[in-house]
Every structure is written in C-alpha cells, then in structure tokens.
Structure 1
Amino acid sequence: MELSERQIKILAWLKQAGGQLSSQELTDAFHVSVQTIRKDLNELSDRGLVQRVHGGIRLPFHNRNLSFQTRQVINLDAKRRIGQTVAALLPEGATIFLGIGTTPQQVAAALIDHPGLQVITNNLNAAMALCHNPKIETLLTGGRIRPSDQDLMGEDATRFLRRFQVNYGIFGIGGLGPEGELMDFSPEESHLSRAIIENSDLRILVADSSKYLRKAPVRTATLSDTDLFVTDQITPELASLAEAAGIELRV
C-alpha cells in the first residue's frame, strides 16, 4: 500500500521541523478533521515511520529496520522507477553487484528484458527475479539466510563479494544523514555494502527520498564514496549534499 500524498507531506514536514509535530499543527495545516489526521498518524505509526507521543508524533529512534513486508510496499512506485532508471544505465556484458534491500530488488525486476549481464548478489529476491532472464548469469553468495530480510549475510557472503571487481556496484542504505552519512542497521549489512563500494568501478546508490534523515545506528560510508545517487525526488538539501560530495544525482 502506497503512502498518501498527505502522509508523504507529513513525513517531510516532520523531518524539517526537527523531528516532532503536534496533531493540532497538522490539523490546521491540512485543513482536515482531527479524525482524518489521527487516521494518517496511526497508519504511519503502524508502519514504523513515526512514533506517537502525547498530542502528536515524532521521528522514531530506530536500532533495527522496518519489517521486510512493510519495506516492500512503502514507496513502491518510486522504487520501481529507480529500478528502471538504473537498469537503463547498464550496458550489455557488464558485471554488477546487487546489494540487499527492496530497492535493489526492484533493479533486478527491471532487468527482465536486459540483453545480458553477470550479476553477483546476496539478495534472494533479486536472484529469483533474475532467473526469468536467461541472458543474465547470476552468482549467489553463500552465507546465513536472514528469513526476516530474505537475504544472505555473514563473513562467507562478504568474502565472496570481495573476490570480484565489477563494473557497477548497486546498493541501498538504511538511512542518509544530514551530512551525507550512509547508515545501516547492523555491522553485517555495513560490511557487505563496504565490499560493494570497494570492489566496483562505478558505485550507484539507490534510495528513495524517505531515507533522508532516517536514523540507523551503523555508519557505513558517505555520499562521497559513491559516484551516482539515483532517487525519486531531488530536494534542495539532497542537491546540496550531492554537490558537496562531488557525485551525480539523478531522478
């Protein structure tokens, strides 16, 4: 289920307001009833995107990611567009990494008609999607399966990625900090993303705009460690971060 336009605006305003808003502010700003705002806030809270507090909401303190099922449906159209944009960049015969998460999964889904690639991944859903294209050779890492995230993790997975030097490394993040910090939810996730960053000729970050200012506890890298950031919406803040990092920003 996609977020409504009003819910997207609520999240954007919440971040701009320093992480906390009252229900009355929201009711006045959107000219809707208290019941309507309460329904929006309850839905956002159920998805783990906000935390309900007395009289309003605040940004949650995340030390773990949202459920995989929730991430699969949040901003799905945006993730599909990101996937299609990245798929169009990949020339026939290229070698690529595909990292964990639902946005790299949408990159894989967009490769259904690609003329030919070699893909190395620990993303089980990406590997299953790529099975539908016989022109793509897919190499799947070993490692420990995370049922909650439908991927392979651990030292075996990281070591496997480090055996390659690929043309394009495509990866997502748990959160993007105000200074361009790329954040993940566990050291294992961070190690895998670092392996992609360090063993790719061109590094492509894929993340929808909801990741901006989203908290995650492990610092993996910075925007300057990437070459291209593909997202669904360019805000002035993101444009400034990309310029400071010296990377290309693409919608």
Structure 2
Amino acid sequence: MSDADPKVPHRGHELLDVLARLGGSARNAQIAQVMDVSEETVRRLVKTLAKQGKVERVHGGTYLRGSQDAPMYSGALEQQPKEKTRIAKGVLELIRDGMTLFINVGSTTTYVAEQLRERRDLTIVTNSISTVASLADHNGSRVFLAGGEVSRSERGCFGRATEDFARRFAYDVLVIGADAMSPELGVLAANPREAELTRALLGNATRVIVAADYRKFSAIAPCIAAPLEAITDLVTDAAPPDALQDALDRCGVATHLAAKSGRITTRTPPPQDVGHSNTNRKTLSFPTEVS
C-alpha cells in the first residue's frame, strides 16, 4: 500500500492489501488462504488493525473501515454461518477430483468454494472474486474469472462479456445459490443479471446443484434463475415445505439434507418419464429481457 502507516506491522499492511483486492471485505478463512497463514494469525492481525481503526470485525470476517459494501457484506456473512458450512460440505460430497465446475456469486457459494479446497485438479469458472481468491493456484486446480462489468457490492462480474466467456465451457457441475425458491417458479434471484447468467449456462452443465439454506423456502425474489426441471440436486440444511418438496420430487430433483450432526441424507425422487439430460435443459425457454 502507498503511504504506509508505520504503526501498522508488515503483515497488517499485507492484510489490508488483500482486503482491498477482494473488494473491501472477506471471510477470515479467505484472507488466511490468500496470505498463506493460519486463521488464528489473521484474527490476531485483525484485532490489532481494528484497535487502530483500520478495519471492522464481523462474525467470521473483516471489512475495511469505510468500505462501501460493508453493511451488505457483514449482514450476509453473519446469517446462518454454521448452516452454510454444513451445506457447503454437502456440496463437496457431490464433487470429484478433476471435474469442471461453474460457481456463481453468493454467500453460500463462497462457503462452497472454501470447502472445494479439499479437491484436486478442478477446472473452475466463476464470476465471483471471492471464489477466485479461495481456489486459485491450489491443489492443481485451474481457475478462470469470467470477466465483465464488476459489481463491488456483489463482489463479482456480470453482463454479456461474462456470459460469453462462461458459455465457452462444458461443465460437469453448475453450482448456484438462491435468493428464494418457489414450487411453481423454481430458483429465484434478486439480481436480474445474476438470473440471466444462470439461465445462460443451464444447457452447458450435466448436473445443476442448488445450495440454499431453509430461509430461502419462505423468501421472495423477482427474477427466475432456473425452473425446478432444470436442476438435478438441492443441498440444504432443513427439509423443504411439503409443497416445494412435492414439486422437487415431480421434477426429479434429489434433495440432500446436511444435518447438524454432519450426516448428509439424500431423498431420491421416484422415477420420472422425463430425465435430467443436458439436451432437456437446452430446450428450456425464457422471456427475452428488453434493454
């Protein structure tokens, strides 16, 4: 950093640089990964920097003092961290070494990216800056940032350039989050650009995994990201309401419950006349957005 404060230790300046590169805020686990130190070291540095007024601490993370996206980030970070960790571990069980994945922007998918450090030789395409920070140059994995217009608050890239780049790959797995889920409309997003990116990639993936905590079952959001027929798996921390579970079963979606005990149970839907082939997803149609 320029104009270095002599009161801040060298490692402290490095941590501030990392936060700046990650858009002003990050989970402590991510900071530790980028700096190649332990989370305990990060916590000690953060404590010192907080006393000096350089950063603010939240549960499990840190943001630069004055960062424009701090309120949004700290709110998302503090919501259900244990549940999101369980969900992320559930997603990890569905991923094998050497797979090609797309991971979208989101707080839950950030947890997924951290868990995926246990896998090797992955090819990861993502529009999430946080995912890049977690997985780049680790365990032989290759990470591609689908660049486009950068949203600091979302900590990711969106737009036509992002979609065009991401469409160049064939994916074993598409990992997406959700702002809400509906029996009738499927996976919903608050950000229309996020929904558009997800829709653009549904036909490129053999498997589509939704990682969503129980709060999303009663939430609302305006944009359709994926109908239930387009997804293959839901990983969550609590059983969906009956209406949603019935719809998931009808659409052939496997529901994986990540319990507090760490056990993951899977509800396998009954056989359906129409399966989840890549060809089926390519035939899905959506209304065209008018710019």
Query: Do these two structures clear the TM 0.5 threshold for a shared fold by scoring above it?
Result: yes
Partner letter of residue 110 of structure 1?
A: Q
Farther off after superposition, 138-147 or 195-204: 195-204
Gaps of 5+ in 1: 1-65
Shift of 1:116: 2.1
Is 2:251 aligned against 1:245? yes
Post-superposition Cα deviations, 1:96-119, rounded to whole Å, max 9, x if no partner, equal: 110110111111100122122110
Is 2:148 aligned against 1:143? yes
* Other structure's SS at 1:246 match: coil
CA contact (8 A) 1:114 1:135 kept: no
Gaps of 5+ in 2: 1-70, 258-291
Shift of 1:180: 4.8
Partner letter of residue 219 of structure 1?
A: I
Q: Percent identity?
A: 26
Shift of 1:84: 1.1
Partner letter of residue 248 of structure 2?
A: A
Match runs of 1:71-110 below 5 Å: 71-110=76-115
Match runs of 1:1-251 below 5 Å: 67-131=72-136, 133-237=138-242, 238-251=244-257
Instruction: Please give the alpha-carbon distance, in whole angstroms, between the structure 1 residues aligned to 2:220 and 2:172.
Output: 30
Instruction: Please give the alpha-carbon distance, in whole angstroms, between the structure 1 residues aligned to 2:73 and 2:183.
Output: 25
Partner letter of residue 201 of structure 2?
A: I
Post-superposition Cα deviations, 1:110-156, rounded to whole Å, max 9, x if no partner, equal: 01221221100001111101136232110111111111111111111
Instruction: Please give the alpha-carbon distance, in whole angstroms, between the structure 1 residues aligned to 2:250 and 2:144.
Output: 35
Instruction: Please give the alpha-carbon distance, in whole angstroms, between the structure 2 residues aligned to 1:222 and 1:233.
Output: 21
* Other structure's SS at 1:194 match: helix
Instruction: Please give the alpha-carbon distance, in whole angstroms, between the structure 2 residues aligned to 1:197 and 1:172.
Output: 14
* Other structure's SS at 1:241 match: helix
Partner letter of residue 226 of structure 1?
A: I
Match of 1:36 in 2: none
Farther off after superposition, 86-95 or 129-138: 129-138
* Other structure's SS at 1:145 match: strand
How many residues are aligned here? Answer: 186
Shift of 1:226: 0.1
Q: How large is the Cα RMSD of the aligned pairs?
A: 1.6
CA contact (8 A) 2:100 2:124 kept: yes
Post-superposition Cα deviations, 1:136-183, rounded to whole Å, max 9, x if no partner, equal: 110111111111111111111111111111111111122112425221
* Other structure's SS at 1:148 match: coil
CA contact (8 A) 1:180 1:241 kept: no
Shift of 1:196: 2.9
Shift of 1:243: 1.0
CA contact (8 A) 2:117 2:139 kept: no
CA contact (8 A) 2:179 2:219 kept: yes
Please report the TM-score for the alignment, with normalisation by the length of structure 1: 0.70
Post-superposition Cα deviations, 1:23-71, rounded to whole Å, max 9, x if no partner, equal: xxxxxxxxxxxxxxxxxxxxxxxxxxxxxxxxxxxxxxxxxxx923311
Partner letter of residue 188 of structure 1?
A: R
Instruction: Please give the alpha-carbon distance, in whole angstroms, between the structure 1 residues aligned to 2:137 and 2:82.
Output: 21
CA contact (8 A) 2:147 2:161 kept: yes
Post-superposition Cα deviations, 1:195-221, rounded to whole Å, max 9, x if no partner, equal: 232211111111111111311111222
Shift of 1:236: 4.1
CA contact (8 A) 2:114 2:134 kept: yes
Please report the TM-score for the alignment, with normalisation by the length of structure 2: 0.61
